[in-house]
Amino acid sequence: MLQGWHRGEKAIQRQLQYDGVMAHGYTWIEGEMPEQHRTFHTTRLPFIPITTLDGSGRPWSCILAGSSGKPGFVSSPNWDRLDMNVRVWEGDPFKENVKSFRDGKMLMAGIGIEFSTRRRNKFAGHVFELRQIDDTYQLKMVVNQAIG
């Protein structure tokens, strides 16, 4: 569970004059996914924008989706897990960033977006298992931060 905002987040909030309103906003972030988040990610989304870090620690964003382009490429075997079977196209930063997958851990954050309802659920954690077969990846992620 978060113990407060890091100094970079505090600086941005201060600059945008949201530091008073958001001072305790970190308490809204849960250490696990509620059932409705799990259902949302596994049944409603044809893609998920995510961010991973490259070998120098710089963040890169991409969009993960299943081979069919339809919902169902994500599963959630329990409250702190998202497993994904995704297709990644040439030139996508994810392909390069998985080379930094060391010691069984790669940081990853994402946001599920349903445009028709404007619903958004964010998650963050780390990939602990990753397998590549041609242009598809099977990844298993522990989620330790979730907010709707």
Residues 77 and 36 in one domain: yes
Same domain membership, residue 75 and residue 90:
yes
Q: How far is CA 66 from CA 48, 86, 104, 115, 135, in A?
A: 10, 4, 23, 18, 11
**Most confident listed range (35-39, 95-99, 144-148):** 35-39
Give me the domain span that covers residue 8: 1-29
At residue 62, does pLDDT exceed 80? yes
* Tally of domains in the chain: 2
120 versus 31: the higher-pLDDT residue is: 120
Reply yes or no on whether the pLDDT at 102 is more than 60. Answer: yes
102/141 same-domain check? yes
Residue 20 and residue 55 in one domain: no
Let me know whether 65 and 137 are in one domain. Answer: yes
Q: Is residue 9 very low, low, confident or very high in pLDDT (cuts 50, 70, 90)?
A: confident
Q: What pTM value is reported for the model? A: 0.83
In the structure, what pLDDT confidence band is assigned to residue 1 with cuts at 50, 70 and 90?
Answer: low
